[in-house]
């Protein structure tokens, strides 16, 4: 049980601590002493061999332990990533070309789609310029969709939905059916999505005129055909959210008798076409992986990147008959916001248009309008369109998109119940 020691010829000094029964092992180098007998040298050599074998075994053992530790750390990291599906979604969105493949792809169960052509609705029949056409469907635009959950009929409250796309892209049929069917399912109400005219083919106020025509139509026509609505709600996302709010303002100032807006729910609404909110700077994408940056809008200058579509809508400042970026009829943050119907807004804390939603909500509240604002941490632009996990094979889906969608549905159902209660009291 004594510490072991031996001497090396011409080697530098070395001190080694080993956790064995014998305690620390000390190795010292000096010149070989002449009085060491041959048999003692042989014994020392044998001890040296055994000690090196001990260290070798220890090294192999330590290497195996390190390997197991590395595997455990990797497993922990993978588990953490799996536990944080938001981080994985953000990572894949940050690498996506346009985020369309990551959007929801499946229709909500129990909801059927019925498409109506312009010949039935009377809506404008239009086509895209060849340079903006992406499919044959762009030669035949203006179709509308009913998203009809099981068990609804003409007596059910109805939703008029304005889809997003910067007034430039998309239609109810191309990528929006998963979103519209999900909101119809969440609310238990039939939802009507219309294909308003886009830029650059049509400038403002064409989009607002189409929304107004669709609103008049849905009041007189339900999922079962002609029949007056009991209530109509407005909904939309992004530019469509801004269009829904613009329609509500138009109907406040020029009401249709007997056709009030019963409520509005929007996601990531575009309310300020001047793009002057601070989030256009503070939430613009940087490659630092910050969770407060928008992985959907990754332009280095979001304001500059937004202007071509906005000028297509309003006209350039030096164009004849152009509108200012603060035109209140469509850039609704700059309108008077009193006497609005009950309004619910959902927006991500990590999106470029955060200021559009927050500033609109604050101004509307100060004007006395009832507004419910929900800001979702780490969420990106129009995040409710990504309930399926951004195309990833995740064990656990992000909760925020689904929860926000469920809150939209509950908000509309609550307003419908309150309206029915008031109607019953009046009768």
Choosing from 334, 355, 381, 400, which is the catalytic residue? Answer: 381
Cα–Cα distance measured from residue 118 to residue 195, given in angstroms and rounded to the nearest whole number: 10
Strand segments, DSSP code E, in 201-341 are: 221-222, 225-226, 232-237, 261-267
Choosing from 187, 238, 262, 306, which is the catalytic residue? Answer: 238
* Contact predicate 405/379, CB 8 Å: no
Q: Has 372 been annotated as catalytic?
A: no
Tokens of 346: 């959902």
Please state, as a whole number, how many other Cβ atoms lie within 10 Å of the Cβ of residue 337: 26
Choose among 380, 411, 410, 412: nearest CA to 398. 380
Choosing from 270, 351, 388, 400, which is the catalytic residue? Answer: 351
Q: Has 400 been annotated as catalytic?
A: no
Q: Has 399 been annotated as catalytic?
A: no
Q: CB-based contacts of 84: which residues, under 8 Å, 6+ apart?
A: none
Tokens of 34: 């002449």
What is the DSSP code (8-state) at residue 243? H
Q: How far are the Cα atoms of 80, 284, 372, 375 from residue 355, in angstroms, in the given order?
A: 32, 12, 15, 11
Strand segments, DSSP code E, in 18-153 are: 25-27, 111-116, 144-149
Cα torsion at 403, 405, 409, 411 (round to 10°)? Answer: 70
Cα–Cα distance measured from residue 255 to residue 296, given in angstroms and rounded to the nearest whole number: 37
Cα–Cα distance measured from residue 383 to residue 119, given in angstroms and rounded to the nearest whole number: 34
Query: Which residue in the block uniquely carries the two structure tokens 């886009």?
Result: 198
DSSP string of 343-361, one letter each residue: EEEEEETTSTTHHHHHHHH
Q: How far are the Cα atoms of 185, 305, 347 from residue 352, in angstroms, in the given order?
A: 29, 12, 10
Pair type for strands 261-267 and 232-237 = parallel
Residues forming the active site = 238, 351, 381
């Amino acid at each position: 049980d004594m510490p072991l020691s031996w001497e090396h010829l011409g080697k530098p000094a070395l001190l080694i601590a080993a956790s064995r029964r014998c305690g620390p092992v000390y190795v010292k180098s000096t010149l070989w002493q002449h009085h060491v007998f041959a048999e003692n040298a042989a014994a020392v050599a044998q001890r040296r061999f055994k000690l090196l074998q001990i260290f070798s075994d220890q090294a192999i053992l330590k290497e195996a332990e390190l390997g197991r530790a590395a595997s455990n750390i990797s497993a922990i990291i993978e588990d953490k990533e799996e536990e944080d599906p938001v981080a994985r979604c953000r990572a894949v969105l940050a690498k996506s070309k346009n985020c369309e493949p990551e959007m929801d792809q499946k229709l909500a169960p129990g909801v059927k789609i019925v498409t109506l052509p312009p010949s039935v609705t009377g809506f404008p029949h239009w086509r895209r310029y060849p340079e903006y056409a992406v499919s044959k469907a762009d030669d035949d635009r203006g179709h509308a969709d009913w998203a009809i959950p099981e068990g609804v009929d003409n007596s059910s409250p109805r939703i008029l939905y304005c889809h997003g796309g910067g007034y430039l892209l998309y239609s109810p049929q191309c990528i929006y059916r998963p979103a519209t069917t999900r909101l119809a399912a969440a609310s238990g109400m039939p939802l009507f999505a219309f294909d308003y005219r886009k830029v650059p083919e049509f400038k403002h106020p064409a989009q607002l005129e189409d929304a107004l025509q669709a609103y008049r139509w849905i009041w007189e026509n339900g999922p079962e055909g002609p029949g007056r609505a009991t209530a109509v709600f407005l909904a939309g996302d992004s530019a469509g959210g801004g269009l829904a709010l613009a329609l509500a303002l138009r109907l406040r100032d020029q009401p249709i008798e007997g056709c009030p807006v019963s409520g509005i729910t929007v996601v990531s609404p575009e309310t300020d076409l001047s793009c002057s909110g601070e989030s256009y700077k503070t939430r613009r994408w940087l490659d630092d992986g910050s969770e407060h940056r928008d992985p959907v809008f990754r332009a280095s200058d979001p304001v500059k990147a937004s202007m071509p579509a906005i000028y297509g809508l309003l006209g350039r400042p030096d164009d004849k008959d152009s509108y200012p970026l603060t035109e209140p009829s469509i850039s609704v943050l700059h309108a008077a916001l009193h006497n609005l119907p009950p309004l619910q807004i959902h927006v991500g804390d990590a999106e470029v248009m955060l200021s559009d939603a927050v500033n609109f909500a604050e101004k509307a509240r100060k004007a006395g309008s009832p507004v419910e604002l929900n800001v979702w941490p780490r969420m990106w632009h129009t995040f409710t369109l990504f309930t399926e996990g951004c195309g990833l094979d995740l064990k656990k889906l992000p909760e925020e998109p689904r929860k926000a969608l469920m809150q939209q549905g509950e908000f509309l159902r609550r307003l419908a119940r309150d309206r029915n209660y008031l109607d019953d009291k009046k009768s």
